[in-house]
A = this chain, B = another copy of it.
Amino acid sequence: MPGNSFGQCFCITTFGESHGIALGVIIDGCPPNLPLNEPDIQRELDKRAPGKRLTTPRKEPDKVEILSGTFEGKTTGTPITLVIFNKDIDSTKYEPIKDLFRPGHGDFTYFKKYGIRDWKGGGRASGRETVARVAAGAVAKKVLDTEGIRVIAYTVALGGIRAKERDLDFIYKNPLFCCDKEAYGLMERRIPEVKEMGDSIGGIVEVLATGCPPGLGEPVFDKLDADLAKAMMSIGAVKGVEIGSGFRAAEMLGSENNDEITPDGFLTNNAGGILAGISNGDEIILRAAIKPIPSIEKIQRTIDIHGRVGEISVKGRHDVSAIPRIVPVCEAMVRLVLADHLLRLKAIR
């Protein structure tokens, strides 16, 4: 399988370029008879919609259409195709930099790999690619709903400002999906400062899954945490992933990091809900490090496609941070992994 598919039993294949005709996804392997309508998917897409005061001026009416796989509002077991036609496309802003590589951006490596440059809006290397993931995640959610599995993602750090609380109620009450009211206040002030500098910032997204039965995950390579790590790292801006105690585990003693077991469950959750690659029935918890968006207005040294020295200032309508738009993407990817492993578990039962 080439690289645009993900999942073994619940498998998605995505397509589409930022400034192309459409983006979309085929979901193959979805069980039949699940209720599915466009509004179910639209709701998730709207979470990553721009137009919010704090982040981006771009207005894309990301409207999803179901092209196949349902009949009278139910999945049929055949491939579900979701498509979002691109509107509001204006590639003229990319013309001045059509031959220049943006530092930190994939246009350099795409050109080196494929020998062809789709300079309009980043082509397939654009963060916009993730719209298809979010759409697919909405279908995965339907599968998880049947088992009572819930997944929620939220911002725990932005530009060095860290959440100290994990207030799940606050998440949908702020445009950054931040889980800490106080931290949110600081973040809200930080964004315009960074924008003013013509720069960008990153952050950390945490994802929490509750209601997972024990048994999800296939040793030794398709471990649940291994597939989650791949899922997260496959999102363009992610540079690190950790499960449970994560990098802190490297400094703990075994007696601290081990989660003692009682008949009522685990006393702690340093494992992040996964042991030896298999869910243990506890909450699954992971974090992804998001790098600052590479397209910045600040002038940077670079080269063009002919190898000549140049400098670049990216002026388009870019976000200051991949957060919050990346938050529902992280959520979607975790749902896709869990839905896939749920079906895989059923296969051997």
Contact = CB atoms under 8 A, between A and B. Distances in A.
B104 A258 contact: yes
Nearest to A104: B258
Copies in the complex: 4
Interface in A146-203: 157, 159-160, 194, 197, 199-203
Interface string A40-75: 000000000000000000000000011111010010
Contacts of A28: 1-5, 13
Contacts of A252: 201-202, 291-292
B20 A129 contact: no
Contact of A276 (B9, B66, B125, B270): B125
Contact of A5 (B5, B76, B159, B294): B5
A78 B219 contact: yes
Given A4-B26, A109-B276, A201-B254, A116 B223 contact: no
A114 B78 CA distance: 9
A257 to B, nearest CB: 5
B347 A251 contact: no
Contacts of A22: 67-68, 81
Contact of A15 (B81, B117, B118, B274): B81
B348 A200 contact: no
Given A227-B230, A348-B77, A123 B71 contact: yes
A228 B238 CA distance: 13
Contacts of A222: 1-3, 234
Contact of A263 (B118, B272, B309): B309
Interface in A105-119: 105-106, 108-110, 112-118
A247 B296 CA distance: 20
Given A13-B26, A109-B280, A229-B229, 14 more contacts: A24-B67, A24-B81, A26-B26, A77-B113, A78-B124, A109-B275, A202-B249, A222-B234, A239-B250, A240-B247, A240-B249, A241-B242, A258-B296, A262-B301
